[in-house]
Every structure is written in structure tokens, then in C-alpha cells.
Amino acid sequence: MTLIQEQELIGFWDWDISSRKKYLSPVIKQMLGYDEHELSSDPDSWIKLIIKEDQAAVINSYQKHVSSKGSYPYEVRARFRHKNGSIVHVLSKGKITEWDYMGNPVRMIGYDTDVTGIVKEYTVMEERHEQLKTVIDIMDAGIWCYDVYKGKQYWSDNFYNAIGYNATEIAPTYFNLLHVLAHPEDNGKLVKAIDDQVKHKIPYSVDVRLQNKSGVYNWFETSGQVAYNEENQPSRITGYIVKRKENVEPANVVVEQFKYPSGEFEYDLNRARFNFSKELYHILELDENANTKFEPVNNMFTEASQEIFHEGFNKAVYAREQYEIILTCITPAGNVKTLREKGRPVVDDTGKVVSLKGTIEELEARKATDFELSGGISRQVSDQNKRLLNFAHIASHNLRSHASNLQMILQVLNTTQNEDERKFCLDSLEKIASSLSKSINNLNDLMAIETELNVSRIPITFKDVFNNITGTLSQQINDTKAEITADFSKSPIIDYVPAYLESIMLNLVSNAIKYRSQQRTPHIELRTVIENGRTVLTVKDNGMGIDLNKHKDKLFRMHQTFHNHPDSRGIGLLITKNQVEAMGGTISVESEPGTGTTFTIRF
């Protein structure tokens, strides 16, 4: 109605149905281009001006109005032929005001409105909308809109398609965009761009990485524009995201002339394994049956080169860029080789990086010096010496303690004639013997870690180990109603000693249940990720927590307990630490009393 009222040409008509005479106001005749005398009161002359294709709609609307006894409104839009030949869009509304005793219509009055301007405007808008939709489809753009006042955001279907989610899986919020989807290194850039647009009206178009449902970051170009209200305050921000085409060379195109010996490699991210060409096996002096998993290959490089190797790896996987690095490795035959590695990511149809491909060129080769050769070995020896020293300290401390107690009790036993004292001594001997046996068993557990180092690593799935340990702990889980969740999708498989991984996971999960808070249902969360090319396992709980200010230094020592729990032996974390470090990894802990604990193992 508002739109109608805005029109200047609104004409009145009065139709005497029985006499077939229709009064048309001058305005109606004017909107059709006729003077007063040029258009008769005969309805037929008026109907003839209606475009033929629209006449049926007019008659149909009238018949429905009549047959419904006026309850169905007469309202119809029809095109009229103007005197000059142009088309006039007319919205006609009317109502039968008189009926005869037979129920036949006698008189009908109404008005006509020239809505040509509105129709043209809508037509233009529809065309623009269609054009915009076409452009958006061509660009494969996702639209987002942020209502500043309501704090609500809208994401289009294309937006969801681009990130691989649907609307039920992730809400279209500013928080999710910045802190869930945006890469941590990019969200600050996006926030600044939006702030500059809102506060200073600076146009922006920035490239950011957004994480899709599979956990893969893809590059997007994003832009936005702010709408301001009458007070010049920002009211709405509307923008789009367009997935950037990956600058990745075809996997099979390697056309490069090498000055020195070279070979090709491919690293399969899913299998965590290298495939080498024959030439590369020769350069690295590896047997073609050699283990080409990530770690053994990585360990061939010097410590400094390992960091460079990880940086190149991350650049390809996370930034999706090509890289070129210089590495130093010591081959199994004891030769030091300087290598130039060029790599690039390979992306599948979904935009996920599935592998790296590249070349390695041998720049220089020489025989390693004893010092260089001892570098890798010395680290292993040093680590092993630390563990052996720790073991010796534990053995010395515990066995000496038991020996002293035994000596003291035996002295009393040999000198006393009192039966009560002799009985007390014998009971004490029994307890000491039991305690000594436990200590020896614990030390055996630690020694086993050293002796089992020669056991071959094999591929293990975290999920299988998780299923095993939750089966073992099923009684405790049921009794405590513990909720345990696991997400190993980022790194599902690892080369490891199965018994170690099971022991590590079992110790941490059973500790989380054992040291649960009595104020809440225990919730334990296990997750694996890849950091710098290494698998990282976190075990997080909402339990009692540990005061690390007091106990951090003693956390991984034998017989150290931090709660008055009856089952605490103070050996599990020590064994876990030794197992992790024996395999070249590290374990760390974050905890707050009353909040919970997170153990992080970098394998």
C-alpha cells in the first residue's frame, strides 16, 4: 500500500454492471494517454486496452470475487496499451457494493493505480539480483553478513560449501569465523581489516586461510563493506569469500636440468612415508628396502637441518607454497652430503594437501669425520646415560632404604628376648620383604624400557590402542561414569612400540579417572595433531589438577604422589616418561588445582 500511495496516478472507477456503463475518472484516462472525450463509458472500450495475454487474469479475478460473494478480493495487475503504444502497468482493486435479490452483482467501484515505475524498478532489481547471483556463482563466492546491532551473522550456502560444513554443524558467528575457521596467523589480519573498514571506512581485500571440516586450511580472498545508519554508525557488514586457486604445479611435471646428481621423492601424508626414485636411494645410500617413514628419514639429517626440513615441510602443508632448502645429512655409509631439496604440495579435488613432491640434488659429498659421526650417536648415548643414571639413582635410593631397614630389624631381632618385640620384628621383615619385592618389580619395569628399545617400531593406529585401553578400564569407566572422547583424525597412525603406546595411554587415562574431581563427572579428551612434522598426543581431563608450583620437579619421580589417593604408587608417570623419552620424545604437563590436567606427548 505504501508503494501505491507513492504513485501520482490513482484513478477512480464506478461500474454499473446491469446497465454496462462504467465511469472512468479523468486520471484513469490520463494514465492511458487519452483525453476525457476519447474514451467512452463502455466497459468494452476499456477492456480492449488490456493486453490480450492479461485479459484472462482480469476476468478470472472478477469471477472469483463474484462467486465468493465479495470475500475473495478483486485485485489484479494487468498491462494496458497506452495511446502512444507503450505499456502501462495498472494495479486494479475493486469491490461489488450492490447485489440484487437474486445475488447478482449490480454495482462495483474501485480504483486503478499506475505501477509502471514500480514494475520497472522491480524488473531492474530482479535483473541485478540475477546478474549478481550469476557473478557469485561464477566466482564460486560465499557470502557472509554481520549485523552489528544484533551481533548475528549470516553465511550463504556457498560459504558453508567452501568450508565443508553445513549450517547445523557450525553457527555463523563472528567468533567461529575468527577463532575456529581462520588460521591463527591470519585472524589478526582479518580483524584489523574489518576494524579499518568499520572505523575508518578503508576498503579491504585480504587473503586468509580458513580451516575446512577436514582440518585443512585453504586460502580465500575475502572482502567486505560496511553499511551505515542515519547516525553514520555501522549497522551491517557484508562480504564474500572466494577460494583462491592453488598455485600448485601438476604433480608429474618436473622439467629441470640438474648440474649434480638428483632424484625425486614423494611424501604421502596419509601413510607418513616417503617414496624415493632409484636415483635418490643411491644418493642417500639407502637400501631400497629401507624404512622410509618420516622419522628414520628425518633422523638422517643433522639437528640444524631437521629444523630446516620441518620448516619446509610446514610451508608446503600449511601455507601451500613451494620451498627450496639446503640440508646436511649423514648417510648410513658415513658420508656427509649437502643436499638441495625442492618441494611442493599436491592438492586433491577437495583442496586438501595429500602429499608433497619434489627433487633432491646432491651438491657435495665427503666422508664424515668422527666428530660428525658421533653427533647423532652422542645424543643417543647422552639420552641413554641420563636414563641409566636416573635408574641407578632410583635403584640406589630404594634398595639402600630397604637394606637399612632390614639391617636395623635384624639387629633388634638378634638381641631381643622379648617375644612381643620378636613378633613385631618378624612382621616388619615381612612388610619390608613385600615392599622390596615391589621396588624390584618397579625397577624391572624401568629396565624393560631399556631392553625393549631394540624392538622394532611398527605402524599402530591410535584408535586401536584407545579401544584396547578403554576395554581394560571399562569397569572404572562405568563406575565413575567417565566421559572419554578421542579425535585422532589429524594423525591417526604412528610408528611405535605397541606395548609402549598402550602403556602410555593407559597410565594417563587411568590417572585421569583415578584423580577425578568429586564435584563433576570426569571428562577425558584425547587428541592427536601434527606439529613441526611430529605427532603430538594430548590427554586432557577435568580432574583434581596438580599444584605444579609445588610438585612440578617431583612429578615424574618414583613414589611421588600428590593426592591422598589409596591406589597411588607414584610409578606410572615415571614409567611413562621413560618410555616416551626412550623413543626420542618428550612429555610435558599443564595443570591447575581444581581445574584439570593436560599431558602433552611429542613423539
Model confidence pLDDT, tens digit, residues 308-367? 888 888 888 877 788 888 888 888 888 888 888 988 888 776 667 888 888 998 887 776
Cell of 402: 630397604
* Residue 48 · residue 129 · CB < 8 Å: no
Element (H, E) at 150: none
* Residue 343 · residue 358 · CB < 8 Å: yes
Name which of 231-235, 464-468, 541-545 the model is least confident about: 231-235
How would residue 533 be classed by pLDDT, with cut points 50, 70 and 90?
low
pLDDT tens-place string over residues 489-505: 888 888 787 778 888 89
pLDDT tens-place string over residues 115-150: 888 888 777 777 766 766 666 665 667 888 877 777
How would residue 537 be classed by pLDDT, with cut points 50, 70 and 90?
very high
Residue 74: predicted pLDDT: 92
pTM: 0.35
**Bridge partner residues of 359 (DSSP):** 264, 342
> Which candidate, 477, 394, 486, places its Cα nearest to that of 443?
394
* Residue 494 · residue 500 · CB < 8 Å: no
The full length of the chain comes to: 603
pLDDT tens-place string over residues 422-476: 787 788 777 777 767 766 766 666 666 555 555 556 778 899 889 888 887 887 8
How would residue 370 be classed by pLDDT, with cut points 50, 70 and 90?
low
Greater confidence (397 vs 516) lies with: 516
> Which candidate, 213, 209, 223, 220, places its Cα nearest to that of 243?
220
Cα 261 from Cα 549, distance rounded (Å): 55
Cα 199 from Cα 29, distance rounded (Å): 54
Burial class (CB within 10 angstroms; exposed 0-12, middle 13-18, buried 19+) of 146:
buried
Q: Residue 18 corresponds to which amino acid?
A: S
Cell of 226: 560496511
Burial class (CB within 10 angstroms; exposed 0-12, middle 13-18, buried 19+) of 232:
exposed
How many percent of the chain have pLDDT more than 70? Answer: 80
Strands (E) located in 229-334? 234-243, 262-268, 273-276, 323-330
Residue 322: predicted pLDDT: 84
Rg (CA), the chain: 41
Helix axes 498-514, 572-582, angle to 10 degrees: 150
Cα 356 from Cα 484, distance rounded (Å): 35
H helices present in 318-418, as ranges: 370-415
Cα 366 from Cα 373, distance rounded (Å): 12
Mean pLDDT across the stretch 175-202? 79
Cα 157 from Cα 561, distance rounded (Å): 54
Phi, psi of 518, deg, nearest 5:
-80, -10
Name which of 210-214, 449-453, 483-487 the model is least confident about: 449-453
Phi, psi of 497, deg, nearest 5:
-80, 120
Name which of 19-33, 110-124, 203-217 the model is least confident about: 203-217
The string of DSSP codes covering 168-199 is: TTS---HHIIIIIIB-TTTHHHHHHHHHHHHH
Greater confidence (217 vs 592) lies with: 592
Is the torsion defined by CA of 433, 437, 442, 444 positive or negative?
A: positive
The string of DSSP codes covering 38-75 is: GS-S-HHHHHTTB-HHHHHHHHHHHHHHHHTTT-S-EE
Neighbours of 403 (CB within 10 A): 12
